[in-house]
Homo-oligomer: A and B are copies of this chain.
Amino acid sequence: MSATASAAASVEAAHGLGLGWNTADPGEVRRRIRTGEYRGYTGALARGFVQANLAILPADYAAEFARFCQRNPKPCPLLAMSEPGDPRLPELGEDLDLRTDLPSYRVFRDGEFDGDVRSIGDLWRDDFVAFALGCSFSFEEALVDAGLRIRHWEDGSVCPIFLTDVECTPAGRFHSRMVVSMRAFTPANAIRAVQVTSRYPRVHGAPIHLGMPERIGIEDVGRAWQGDDPTVVPGEIPVFWACGVTPQVAVRSARPPIAITHTPAHMLVTDVRNASLAVG
Protein backbone atom coordinates (compact mmCIF):
# COMPACT_ATOMS: atom_id res chain seq x y z
CA MET A 1 0.00 0.00 0.00
CA SER A 2 1.42 3.41 -0.93
CA ALA A 3 1.91 6.06 1.74
CA THR A 4 -0.88 8.12 0.21
CA ALA A 5 -3.27 5.19 0.05
CA SER A 6 -2.33 4.28 3.59
CA ALA A 7 -3.03 7.80 4.80
CA ALA A 8 -6.37 7.83 3.02
CA ALA A 9 -7.24 4.44 4.49
CA SER A 10 -6.43 5.61 7.99
CA VAL A 11 -8.56 8.72 7.52
CA GLU A 12 -11.46 6.55 6.38
CA ALA A 13 -10.95 4.13 9.21
CA ALA A 14 -10.97 7.04 11.63
CA HIS A 15 -14.27 8.16 10.20
CA GLY A 16 -15.61 4.62 10.23
CA LEU A 17 -16.84 5.07 6.68
CA GLY A 18 -14.83 2.58 4.64
CA LEU A 19 -16.22 3.96 1.43
CA GLY A 20 -13.21 3.00 -0.67
CA TRP A 21 -12.36 6.53 -1.77
CA ASN A 22 -10.60 9.50 -0.25
CA THR A 23 -13.26 10.99 2.01
CA ALA A 24 -10.72 13.52 3.28
CA ASP A 25 -10.57 15.40 -0.04
CA PRO A 26 -13.41 17.93 -0.44
CA GLY A 27 -13.15 17.89 -4.25
CA GLU A 28 -13.50 14.12 -4.30
CA VAL A 29 -16.43 14.32 -1.88
CA ARG A 30 -18.24 16.66 -4.27
CA ARG A 31 -17.45 14.42 -7.27
CA ARG A 32 -18.80 11.32 -5.50
CA ILE A 33 -21.95 13.25 -4.58
CA ARG A 34 -22.27 14.65 -8.13
CA THR A 35 -22.20 11.18 -9.67
CA GLY A 36 -24.77 9.93 -7.18
CA GLU A 37 -22.31 7.56 -5.53
CA TYR A 38 -22.65 9.21 -2.11
CA ARG A 39 -25.94 10.51 -0.69
CA GLY A 40 -25.37 10.50 3.07
CA TYR A 41 -24.54 12.99 5.79
CA THR A 42 -21.53 15.20 5.13
CA GLY A 43 -20.48 15.76 8.76
CA ALA A 44 -17.70 13.17 8.88
CA LEU A 45 -16.31 13.98 5.41
CA ALA A 46 -13.48 16.33 4.43
CA ARG A 47 -12.47 17.15 7.97
CA GLY A 48 -10.73 20.51 8.19
CA PHE A 49 -12.74 22.05 5.37
CA VAL A 50 -15.67 24.43 5.63
CA GLN A 51 -19.14 23.00 5.10
CA ALA A 52 -21.81 25.57 4.31
CA ASN A 53 -25.53 26.13 4.67
CA LEU A 54 -27.14 26.80 1.28
CA ALA A 55 -30.07 29.06 0.40
CA ILE A 56 -31.18 29.65 -3.20
CA LEU A 57 -33.72 32.34 -3.99
CA PRO A 58 -35.18 34.11 -7.02
CA ALA A 59 -33.26 37.30 -7.87
CA ASP A 60 -36.24 39.40 -6.79
CA TYR A 61 -35.52 38.32 -3.22
CA ALA A 62 -31.73 38.40 -3.36
CA ALA A 63 -30.97 41.95 -2.26
CA GLU A 64 -33.39 41.71 0.67
CA PHE A 65 -31.90 38.43 1.83
CA ALA A 66 -28.37 39.79 1.49
CA ARG A 67 -29.46 42.68 3.69
CA PHE A 68 -30.99 40.27 6.21
CA CYS A 69 -27.65 38.43 6.40
CA GLN A 70 -25.71 41.67 6.72
CA ARG A 71 -27.93 42.79 9.59
CA ASN A 72 -27.78 39.43 11.38
CA PRO A 73 -24.23 38.21 10.88
CA LYS A 74 -24.17 35.81 13.83
CA PRO A 75 -26.99 33.54 12.61
CA CYS A 76 -26.36 34.37 8.93
CA PRO A 77 -22.60 34.68 8.27
CA LEU A 78 -22.46 35.06 4.49
CA LEU A 79 -19.50 33.18 2.99
CA ALA A 80 -20.38 33.57 -0.68
CA MET A 81 -23.17 34.84 -2.96
CA SER A 82 -23.53 33.80 -6.60
CA GLU A 83 -24.15 35.79 -9.77
CA PRO A 84 -27.82 35.56 -10.84
CA GLY A 85 -28.38 32.33 -12.77
CA ASP A 86 -24.85 31.06 -12.14
CA PRO A 87 -24.76 27.72 -10.29
CA ARG A 88 -21.08 28.14 -9.37
CA LEU A 89 -19.36 29.63 -6.32
CA PRO A 90 -15.72 29.54 -7.43
CA GLU A 91 -14.43 31.16 -4.22
CA LEU A 92 -15.58 28.02 -2.37
CA GLY A 93 -14.40 25.44 -4.93
CA GLU A 94 -13.36 25.86 -8.54
CA ASP A 95 -15.39 22.95 -9.92
CA LEU A 96 -18.29 23.41 -7.53
CA ASP A 97 -21.77 23.04 -9.09
CA LEU A 98 -24.64 23.99 -6.81
CA ARG A 99 -27.15 21.97 -8.89
CA THR A 100 -25.52 18.62 -8.15
CA ASP A 101 -22.92 18.83 -5.39
CA LEU A 102 -25.09 18.49 -2.29
CA PRO A 103 -26.35 15.03 -1.33
CA SER A 104 -29.87 16.32 -0.71
CA TYR A 105 -31.82 19.54 -1.28
CA ARG A 106 -34.98 20.82 0.33
CA VAL A 107 -37.52 22.64 -1.81
CA PHE A 108 -39.98 25.20 -0.48
CA ARG A 109 -42.86 26.72 -2.47
CA ASP A 110 -44.57 29.80 -1.05
CA GLY A 111 -42.73 29.10 2.17
CA GLU A 112 -44.07 25.55 2.52
CA PHE A 113 -41.97 22.38 2.46
CA ASP A 114 -42.36 20.66 -0.92
CA GLY A 115 -39.95 17.72 -0.60
CA ASP A 116 -36.29 16.73 -0.57
CA VAL A 117 -34.60 16.07 -3.91
CA ARG A 118 -31.21 14.68 -4.96
CA SER A 119 -30.37 17.31 -7.53
CA ILE A 120 -31.88 20.58 -8.66
CA GLY A 121 -30.74 20.70 -12.29
CA ASP A 122 -34.34 20.55 -13.47
CA LEU A 123 -35.46 23.23 -10.99
CA TRP A 124 -32.65 25.67 -11.75
CA ARG A 125 -33.73 29.09 -13.06
CA ASP A 126 -31.88 31.89 -14.78
CA ASP A 127 -32.75 34.25 -11.94
CA PHE A 128 -31.61 32.05 -9.03
CA VAL A 129 -29.14 33.58 -6.62
CA ALA A 130 -27.33 31.24 -4.21
CA PHE A 131 -26.10 32.09 -0.73
CA ALA A 132 -23.56 29.97 1.17
CA LEU A 133 -23.58 30.59 4.91
CA GLY A 134 -21.18 29.47 7.64
CA CYS A 135 -22.10 26.35 9.62
CA SER A 136 -21.41 25.15 13.15
CA PHE A 137 -19.35 22.17 11.94
CA SER A 138 -16.43 24.57 11.48
CA PHE A 139 -16.41 25.99 15.01
CA GLU A 140 -17.17 22.58 16.51
CA GLU A 141 -14.01 21.29 14.87
CA ALA A 142 -12.08 24.21 16.38
CA LEU A 143 -13.54 23.38 19.81
CA VAL A 144 -12.56 19.72 19.53
CA ASP A 145 -9.10 20.66 18.25
CA ALA A 146 -8.76 22.85 21.36
CA GLY A 147 -9.39 19.81 23.55
CA LEU A 148 -13.04 20.43 24.39
CA ARG A 149 -15.52 17.57 24.23
CA ILE A 150 -18.87 18.01 22.50
CA ARG A 151 -21.43 15.62 23.89
CA HIS A 152 -23.47 15.17 20.73
CA TRP A 153 -20.29 14.24 18.85
CA GLU A 154 -19.46 11.66 21.47
CA ASP A 155 -22.86 10.01 21.85
CA GLY A 156 -23.75 10.26 18.17
CA SER A 157 -26.89 12.33 18.76
CA VAL A 158 -28.07 15.31 16.70
CA CYS A 159 -27.10 18.74 18.02
CA PRO A 160 -30.06 20.23 19.91
CA ILE A 161 -31.42 23.50 18.57
CA PHE A 162 -33.94 25.91 20.06
CA LEU A 163 -36.17 28.72 18.80
CA THR A 164 -35.56 31.80 20.97
CA ASP A 165 -37.68 34.90 21.52
CA VAL A 166 -34.83 37.07 20.20
CA GLU A 167 -36.04 38.83 17.05
CA CYS A 168 -33.50 39.17 14.27
CA THR A 169 -33.35 42.55 12.57
CA PRO A 170 -35.81 42.20 9.67
CA ALA A 171 -34.98 43.14 6.09
CA GLY A 172 -37.78 43.51 3.54
CA ARG A 173 -39.86 40.34 3.55
CA PHE A 174 -37.33 38.40 5.64
CA HIS A 175 -37.78 38.06 9.37
CA SER A 176 -37.20 35.38 11.98
CA ARG A 177 -36.67 34.78 15.61
CA MET A 178 -33.13 33.59 16.19
CA VAL A 179 -32.56 29.84 16.25
CA VAL A 180 -29.68 28.71 18.45
CA SER A 181 -27.70 25.52 18.90
CA MET A 182 -26.70 24.42 22.41
CA ARG A 183 -23.61 22.73 23.81
CA ALA A 184 -23.13 22.23 27.56
CA PHE A 185 -19.78 22.80 29.25
CA THR A 186 -18.31 23.32 32.68
CA PRO A 187 -17.89 27.05 33.40
CA ALA A 188 -14.14 26.93 32.72
CA ASN A 189 -14.72 25.15 29.41
CA ALA A 190 -17.54 27.55 28.54
CA ILE A 191 -15.02 30.40 28.91
CA ARG A 192 -12.58 28.48 26.70
CA ALA A 193 -15.36 27.88 24.16
CA VAL A 194 -16.05 31.64 24.02
CA GLN A 195 -12.36 32.24 23.33
CA VAL A 196 -12.05 29.57 20.65
CA THR A 197 -15.22 30.41 18.73
CA SER A 198 -14.60 34.18 18.93
CA ARG A 199 -11.83 33.53 16.40
CA TYR A 200 -14.41 32.31 13.85
CA PRO A 201 -16.89 35.13 13.19
CA ARG A 202 -17.58 33.79 9.67
CA VAL A 203 -19.01 30.55 11.08
CA HIS A 204 -21.32 31.98 13.80
CA GLY A 205 -18.47 33.17 16.05
CA ALA A 206 -18.84 33.57 19.81
CA PRO A 207 -21.93 32.32 21.66
CA ILE A 208 -24.86 34.72 21.91
CA HIS A 209 -25.89 33.54 25.37
CA LEU A 210 -25.03 31.23 28.22
CA GLY A 211 -26.37 30.06 31.52
CA MET A 212 -29.89 31.53 31.55
CA PRO A 213 -31.97 29.92 28.81
CA GLU A 214 -35.21 31.43 30.12
CA ARG A 215 -33.80 34.89 29.33
CA ILE A 216 -33.88 34.10 25.60
CA GLY A 217 -37.27 32.40 25.69
CA ILE A 218 -36.16 28.80 26.17
CA GLU A 219 -38.44 27.34 28.83
CA ASP A 220 -36.95 23.87 29.09
CA VAL A 221 -33.36 23.40 27.94
CA GLY A 222 -33.86 19.63 28.20
CA ARG A 223 -36.40 19.67 25.35
CA ALA A 224 -34.93 20.51 21.97
CA TRP A 225 -37.00 22.32 19.33
CA GLN A 226 -35.13 20.28 16.70
CA GLY A 227 -32.40 17.67 17.07
CA ASP A 228 -32.14 15.33 20.02
CA ASP A 229 -33.02 16.30 23.59
CA PRO A 230 -29.74 17.16 25.28
CA THR A 231 -28.22 15.96 28.51
CA VAL A 232 -26.98 18.76 30.75
CA VAL A 233 -24.88 17.26 33.52
CA PRO A 234 -24.79 18.96 36.97
CA GLY A 235 -21.87 21.38 37.00
CA GLU A 236 -22.35 22.31 33.35
CA ILE A 237 -23.99 25.38 31.90
CA PRO A 238 -25.76 25.53 28.54
CA VAL A 239 -23.97 27.68 25.97
CA PHE A 240 -25.93 28.95 22.97
CA TRP A 241 -24.63 29.82 19.51
CA ALA A 242 -26.60 31.48 16.71
CA CYS A 243 -27.62 28.74 14.27
CA GLY A 244 -27.81 28.47 10.50
CA VAL A 245 -31.39 27.24 10.74
CA THR A 246 -32.31 30.91 11.38
CA PRO A 247 -31.91 31.91 7.71
CA GLN A 248 -34.03 28.89 6.72
CA VAL A 249 -36.83 30.17 8.94
CA ALA A 250 -36.38 33.63 7.42
CA VAL A 251 -36.52 32.20 3.89
CA ARG A 252 -39.82 30.50 4.71
CA SER A 253 -41.17 33.66 6.30
CA ALA A 254 -40.65 35.60 3.07
CA ARG A 255 -42.77 33.02 1.19
CA PRO A 256 -40.97 33.23 -2.15
CA PRO A 257 -42.63 31.22 -4.94
CA ILE A 258 -39.64 28.87 -4.79
CA ALA A 259 -36.65 28.55 -2.48
CA ILE A 260 -34.11 25.75 -2.14
CA THR A 261 -31.88 24.94 0.82
CA HIS A 262 -29.69 22.01 1.78
CA THR A 263 -31.42 19.21 3.66
CA PRO A 264 -30.28 19.27 7.30
CA ALA A 265 -26.86 17.55 7.76
CA HIS A 266 -26.40 17.37 3.96
CA MET A 267 -24.16 20.38 3.51
CA LEU A 268 -22.18 22.07 0.77
CA VAL A 269 -18.59 20.78 1.13
CA THR A 270 -16.05 23.45 0.14
CA ASP A 271 -12.32 23.69 -0.55
CA VAL A 272 -11.91 26.43 2.09
CA ARG A 273 -9.98 25.35 5.15
CA ASN A 274 -11.66 26.02 8.49
CA ALA A 275 -8.38 27.32 9.87
CA SER A 276 -8.19 29.92 7.09
CA LEU A 277 -11.28 31.61 8.58
CA ALA A 278 -9.63 32.23 11.95
CA VAL A 279 -9.06 35.82 13.02
CA GLY A 280 -6.53 36.76 15.67
Contact = CB atoms under 8 A, between A and B. Distances in A.
A131 to B, nearest CB: 26
Interface stretch (A62-70, A87-95, A137-145, A208-216): A208-216
Contacts of A207: 191
Contact of A194 (B191, B211, B215, B280): B191
Interface string A32-55: 000000000000000000000000
Contacts of A194: 191, 194-195, 198
Interface in A57-91: none
A190 B206 contact: no
A237 interface: yes
A187 B210 contact: yes
Contacts of A187: 209-212, 215
Interface string A198-241: 10000000111111100100000000000000000001010000
Contacts of A209: 187-188, 191
A206 B195 contact: yes
B211 A211 contact: yes
A235 B212 contact: yes
Nearest to A210: B187
30 contacts: A186-B215, A187-B209, A187-B211, A187-B212, A187-B215, A188-B208, A188-B209, A190-B210, A190-B211, A191-B194, A191-B206, A191-B207, A191-B209, A191-B210, A194-B194, A194-B195, A194-B198, A195-B195, A195-B198, A195-B206, A198-B198, A210-B210, A210-B211, A210-B237, A211-B211, A211-B237, A212-B235, A212-B237, A215-B235, A280-B280
Interface of A: 186-188, 190-191, 194-195, 198, 206-212, 215, 235, 237, 280
Given A186-B215, A195-B206, 19 more contacts: A187-B211, A187-B212, A188-B208, A188-B209, A191-B207, A191-B209, A191-B210, A194-B194, A194-B195, A195-B195, A195-B198, A198-B198, A210-B210, A210-B211, A210-B237, A211-B237, A212-B237, A215-B235, A280-B280
What are the nearest 4 A-B pairs in CB distance?
A: A280-B280, A194-B194, A211-B211, A187-B209
